[in-house]
Amino acid sequence: MGKIIQKLIRWMPVVLFVLLLMVDRDNPVHVVGFISLLLIYTTILIMRILYAKERWHKEYDDSELGSNPSIQKMSDLKEKLEEQDGTGQEG
């Protein structure tokens, strides 16, 4: 069920574009349905962005990296994050 919803969300811009081309502007049901679908999709995108932001802040704000005086450049921060993750991979 979750994979179907993810695929639907991924393909929704294409679906909305096709519906925009096909909607009968004189039919209020078509117009209200299209606008409702567009608003629902926009709400889902905003919720996903806010959730990702929240997760990112939980993951990286808890660390002491921001107050570490040894971090002078972005590469130093990257090294510290890799040490924290335990990966140590360069890429």
Tokens found for residue 57: 């802040």
pLDDT tens, 9-39?
899 999 999 999 999 999 999 999 999 999 9
pLDDT tens, 36-76?
999 999 999 999 999 988 888 777 765 555 556 666 666 66
Q: What is the pLDDT of residue 22?
A: 93
Give CA–CA dist 49/61, Å, rounded.
17
| Contacts of residue 41, Cβ cutoff 8 Å, sequence gap at least 6 | 9, 12, 16
Percent of the chain having pLDDT more than 90? 45
Domain segments of the chain as ranges = 2-85
Q: What is the DSSP letter of 25?
A: T
